[in-house]
């Protein structure tokens, strides 16, 4: 009797699952929208949908809109809002080095290792060469963040490839590049000058 009672829930589960000749039909055979496929349900026939304006992924809860956009003021989500003047991260050597790794992967291809716009890709771009990051006007840090996030001209957006923290770290590295190309030898700490003159990294 006890064994019979244990089999009752199993029978109930099995009767609720459709079975085909190849085994369990499961979720693979149910109607669903696949990424990058057409969908007749929506007017634009795109299965992948844009999130509603102003929404924030669950993983970014607790982060301010200013941190996520680089813009400040009551209209921080608007392109017309002002840009944040300073990087909203605690700047450490590790932060700048992380930004340097992301820069070398995503940015140096066009803007050059030094940020001077000298690269093989830049030389082969006949329509418009990437600008030197060293000669730009004194834009605020939030401007750089917004350009990295949203793209500019021929430059694509990198918000899907880099997290907000990574994008701010890239901004920090760009600032380090700009400062390093304009620094005078007498501004370098005395203990670091010999290594710098040898071409090393202090």
pLDDT by residue (tens digit) across 86-111? Answer: 999 899 999 999 999 999 999 999 89
Phi then psi for residue 23, to 5 deg, are: 120, -145
Look at residue 63 in the predicted model and tell me its pLDDT: 65
In this prediction, residue 169 has a pLDDT band, given cuts at 50, 70 and 90, of very high
> How much of the chain, in percent, has pLDDT values that exceed 70?
74
Tell me which of 10 and 115 has the higher pLDDT: 115
Task: Express each pLDDT in 38-61 by its tens digit.
Answer: 888 888 888 888 877 766 666 555
Report yes or no: 102 and 162 within 8 Å, Cβ to Cβ.
yes
Q: Taking residues 148-163, what's their average pLDDT? A: 92
Residues 58, 131: contact at Cβ < 8 Å?
no
Global pTM value: 0.63
Q: What is the pLDDT of residue 187?
A: 79
The pLDDT, as a whole number, for residue 129 is: 80
For the stretch 7-33, pLDDT in tens is 555 555 555 555 554 545 566 677 778
Q: What is the mean pLDDT of residues 57-72?
A: 72
What are φ and ψ of residue 47, in 5° steps? -75, -35
Beta bridge partners of 152: 155
Which pLDDT belongs to residue 167? 96
Question: In the prediction, which pLDDT does 87 show?
Answer: 93
State the helix-helix crossing angle for 164-182 and 141-150, rounded to 10 degrees.
130
User: pLDDT value at position 170?
Assistant: 97
Amino acid 14: pLDDT: 55
For residues 146-170, average pLDDT: 93
Cα–Cα distance between 89 and 95 in angstroms, integer?
Answer: 9
Mean model confidence pLDDT for the chain: 80
Measured in degrees and rounded to the nearest 5, phi and psi for residue 131 equal: -75, 155
Q: Comparing 76 with 120, which gets the higher pLDDT?
A: 120
């Amino acid at each position: 009797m006890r064994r019979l009672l244990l089999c009752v829930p199993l029978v109930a589960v099995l009767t609720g699952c459709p079975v085909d000749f190849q085994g369990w039909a499961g979720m693979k055979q149910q109607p669903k929208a696949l990424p990058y496929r057409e969908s007749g349900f929506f007017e634009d026939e795109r299965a992948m949908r844009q999130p509603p304006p102003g929404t924030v992924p669950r993983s970014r809860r607790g982060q301010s809109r200013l941190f996520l956009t680089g813009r400040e003021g009551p209209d921080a989500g608007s392109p017309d809002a002002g840009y944040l003047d300073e990087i909203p991260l605690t700047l450490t050597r590790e932060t700048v080095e992380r930004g340097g790794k992301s820069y070398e992967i995503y940015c140096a291809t066009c803007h050059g290792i030094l940020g001077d716009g000298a690269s093989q890709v830049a030389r082969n771009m006949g329509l418009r060469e990437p600008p030197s990051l060293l000669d730009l006007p004194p834009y605020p840090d939030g401007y750089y963040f917004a350009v990295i996030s949203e793209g500019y001209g021929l430059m694509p957006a990198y918000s899907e490839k880099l997290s907000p923290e990574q994008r701010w770290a890239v901004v920090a590295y760009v600032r380090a590049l700009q400062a390093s190309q304009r620094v005078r030898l007498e501004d370098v700490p005395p203990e670091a000058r010999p290594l710098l003159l040898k071409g090393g990294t202090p």
